[in-house]
A and B are shown apart, each in its own frame.
Chain A
Amino acid sequence: MSDLNQALATKYKGNFLKEVIDNVEKGDMVQMCMQCGVCAGSCPMGPHWEHTPQKIFMMIRANKRNEILQSESMWMCTSCYNCIVRCPRELPITHIMHGLASYAKRLNLVPKTQPTAKFAQLFWNNLTSKGRVNELKLGISLYFMNGFGEGIKVAMANQKLGMNMLKTKRMAINEAWGGHSVKDKSGFHAMLKKAAELESDAIEANSK
């Protein structure tokens, strides 16, 4: 992973904008930003971004590669799409933020304690295992994502919530043993494997 990071950093040395255009989802649209700041002002998580989307777009042009990819900023995106519908230049800002976050993860640059990065990966692993989300297992893995001791504490603190969900049949204990699944698991997995390969290959190729 870090080899790939090194290779890409070397290949695009001095031109992070080009690296983003080539490798980040909707990265080409970064060039459209005119720095009006409507995105930054529209974000519900605004106060929690170290660098707002507006600032990130400028930092990309200013070659602040590590400052962006190692930042927790993009992980603040709730996917509310406020920025997208308000952007006067129609940049798909939500997708660019997701793209940067996903790219940072691919290059192994995400801060280790970033909770949304961890949860998002748990979610992906959960859904791809059987093709459908297993909410019970997802909840348990979320509680325990920071270790066993912490997990017990979080689980205890959320006991009432869990009971409420069980009582209203919006959570089911039997999901722990089997749970919902697609029927064609092998086809499903083969499809995802191929898609992941194609995407990785393209980025690998760009690193050479």
Chain B
Amino acid sequence: MSDKKDSSSKEYSFYPGCSSQSGASSSNYLTSVNSMCEELDIKLNTIDDWNCCAASIGYTGGGELPRVSLSARNIALSEQQHPQQDIVATCAACWLATREASERIAHSTKIKEGTGIALKEAGLEMKNDKNIRHMVEVLVEDIGMDTISAKVKKPLEGIKIAGYVGCQTNRPFGIDGESFENPQYLDNMVEAVGAEPIRTYEKKVSCCGGALAFSEPDKSFILIKPILESAMDNGADMIVTPCPVCQMNTEVYQDKINDKFGTQFNIPVVYYSTLMSVAFGRSAADSALNGQVIQAEKLNKIAK
């Protein structure tokens, strides 16, 4: 686990990642994160000139050293630009790849030397002394559920929500020392904004297929179907997730899954930041509700 920082420091070196860019698949995530952070007095300082982390599928072309170098460059830029701040990512794969790279460099002399030589080609060097954190860690560890509750202007009363944590915002690092099999943080967030969490949601930490939803859609749809089914069986009005790939896979393929399995799924899948933005009283646009392929009508009504 990363060392906890003084809770008074609410400024972070921000690594937004490729899918958050304008016109990209989780640009709606970034919109709602920005609104959420404004309300919680969290300042995100974007790492200037950041690059892709290679996500979890870059290993093939990248091998180890080129892949680790990608994250090393981001860390080096962050050290240069925001020396005192933890790096924070909103994307699960960005967080994982960056933290993994940092640990790999710390634990292997060979990798440390290799990335050092490679970075020099880009005129950079790194100390590797930063905590690499996910936004949900900031919320859980630095902000706290009480503060989040206190900021709620429009409680999401009566909305039942299945918290789909997924894989990479959970494994291998875990959030705040929680169990890998049944982490509670997402349910706690749902509760903090006044909605009703489904703590018995069986598919909370199941895999959606990740990047294999692109290359092996049929195999992945077999994984996505029970994630949706379990949410429906538990009476969920919507699913919430902290991960861009989880969000995409469980939302945008529902049509195709219905075609394939004869099901009738039409359940919205939102980000925790969507819930918070709405509950904090922000507009539908600020909460990026227009980014839902499957509209979250119950949130639309509250946000207006």
Cβ of B28 within 8 Å of any chain A Cβ, yes or no, is yes
Task: Evaluate whether A142 and B214 lie within 8 angstroms (CB atoms) in the complex, with A106-B63, A121-B60, A182-B49 already known.
Answer: yes
> Which chain B residues in 4-40 approach chain A with CB under 8 Å?
18-19, 21-28
Cβ of A118 within 8 Å of any chain B Cβ, yes or no, is yes
**Residue in A94, A142, A188 whose Cβ sees the most chain B Cβ within 10 Å:** A188
Task: Evaluate whether A78 and B21 lie within 8 angstroms (CB atoms) in the complex, with A98-B59, A120-B57, A188-B51 already known.
Answer: no
Contact of A44 among B18, B69, B180, B207 (CB under 8 A): B207
Cβ of B198 within 8 Å of any chain A Cβ, yes or no, is no
> Which chain B residues in 199-247 approach chain A with CB under 8 Å?
206-207, 209-212, 214-216, 219-220, 223
Contact of B117 among A81, A94, A125, A194 (CB under 8 A): A194
CB-based contact A78/B52 at 8 Å: no
Q: How far is the CA of A48 from the CA of B221 in the complex (A)?
A: 13
CB-based contact B118/A79 at 8 Å: no
Residues of A within 8 A of B51 (CB): 127, 131-132, 182, 188
Q: Which residue of B lies closest to A128 (CB)?
A: B61
Number of interface residues of A (CB under 8 A): 65
CB-based contact B23/A198 at 8 Å: no
Residues of B within 8 A of A99 (CB): 59, 64
Cβ of A123 within 8 Å of any chain B Cβ, yes or no, is yes
> Which chain A residues in 175-196 approach chain B with CB under 8 Å?
175, 180, 182-184, 187-188, 190-196
Cβ of A29 within 8 Å of any chain B Cβ, yes or no, is no
Measured between C-beta atoms, what is the minimum distance from B32 to chain A in Å?
13
CB-based contact A124/B290 at 8 Å: no
Contact of B216 among A79, A116, A182, A195 (CB under 8 A): A116
CB-based contact A116/B172 at 8 Å: no
Cβ of A7 within 8 Å of any chain B Cβ, yes or no, is no
Q: How far is the CA of A118 from the CA of B111 in the complex (A)?
A: 27
Task: Evaluate whether A115 and B207 lie within 8 angstroms (CB atoms) in the complex, with A121-B61, A187-B122 already known.
Answer: no
Measured between C-beta atoms, what is the minimum distance from A3 to chain B in Å?
18
> Which chain B residues in 81-130 approach chain A with CB under 8 Å?
114-115, 117-124
Q: Interface readout for A38-52 with B: 1 if CB under 8 Å, 0 if not?
A: 000000110010000
Q: Which residue of A lies closest to B23 (CB)?
A: A172
Contact of A193 among B26, B61, B121, B291 (CB under 8 A): B121
Q: Interface readout for A125-152 with B: 1 if CB under 8 Å, 0 if not?
A: 1011001110110000010000000000
CB-based contact A127/B121 at 8 Å: no
Residues of B within 8 A of A127 (CB): 18, 51-52, 54, 58
CB-based contact B61/A25 at 8 Å: no
Task: Evaluate whether A194 and B171 lie within 8 angstroms (CB atoms) in the complex, with A45-B212, A78-B209 already known.
Answer: no
Contact of B293 among A136, A165, A180, A192 (CB under 8 A): A165
Measured between C-beta atoms, what is the minimum distance from B257 to chain A in Å?
12
Which residue numbers of B lie inside 8 Å of A, CB to CB? 18-19, 21-28, 49-52, 54-66, 68-70, 73, 114-115, 117-124, 167-168, 171-172, 174, 180, 206-207, 209-212, 214-216, 219-220, 223, 252-253, 255-256, 290-293
A-B pairs with the 8 shortest C-beta distances?
Answer: A124-B61, A172-B23, A79-B56, A187-B122, A120-B60, A81-B171, A133-B18, A80-B207
